[in-house]
């Protein structure tokens, strides 16, 4: 279930970008991706991964970008999420 949710999340993210940053598709893709991640590695490990002390800057940018996408500013939100994603997984 988790791999399917992550796959659909990435598909909706890509499709939302291809359709000129459609905010509904991007938000749906983000939520599917995060829920799939929780299904794959578990809630506790996901929480500890995102909220480690050295990764708080990346986490705040990632979730801030998600919030900005949900508020219908998709380009700025995706830029914030991309920076947060790079900071988290570097």
Task: Report pLDDT digits (tens) over 35-47.
Answer: 999 999 999 999 9
Specify whether 4 is located in the same domain as 42.
yes
Specify whether 38 is located in the same domain as 64.
no
Region 17-34: mean pLDDT is 94
How much is the CA Rg of the chain, to the nearest whole Å?
A: 13
Specify whether 3 is located in the same domain as 22.
yes
Comparing CA positions, the residue from 56, 78, 58 lying closest to residue 66 is 78
Specify whether 62 is located in the same domain as 44.
no
Specify whether 13 is located in the same domain as 33.
yes
Specify whether 36 is located in the same domain as 78.
no
Which of the four pLDDT bands, split at 50, 70 and 90, describes residue 87? very high
Name the H helices within the chain. 2-18, 23-41, 43-50, 56-70, 74-88
For residues 36 and 3, the answer to whether their CB atoms sit within 8 Å is yes
**Residue numbers of the domain that contains 11:** 1-51
pLDDT value at position 50? Answer: 94
Task: Please state the domain count of the chain.
Answer: 2
Specify whether 45 is located in the same domain as 62.
no
């Amino acid at each position: 279930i988790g791999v399917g949710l992550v796959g659909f999340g990435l598909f909706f993210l890509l499709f939302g970008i291809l359709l000129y940053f459609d905010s509904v598709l991007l938000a749906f893709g983000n939520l599917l991706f995060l829920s799939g991640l929780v299904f794959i590695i578990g809630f506790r490990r996901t929480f500890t991964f995102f909220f480690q002390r050295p990764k708080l800057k990346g986490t705040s940018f990632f979730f801030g970008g998600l919030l900005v996408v949900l508020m219908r500013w998709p380009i700025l939100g995706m830029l914030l999420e991309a920076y947060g994603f790079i900071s988290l997984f570097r």
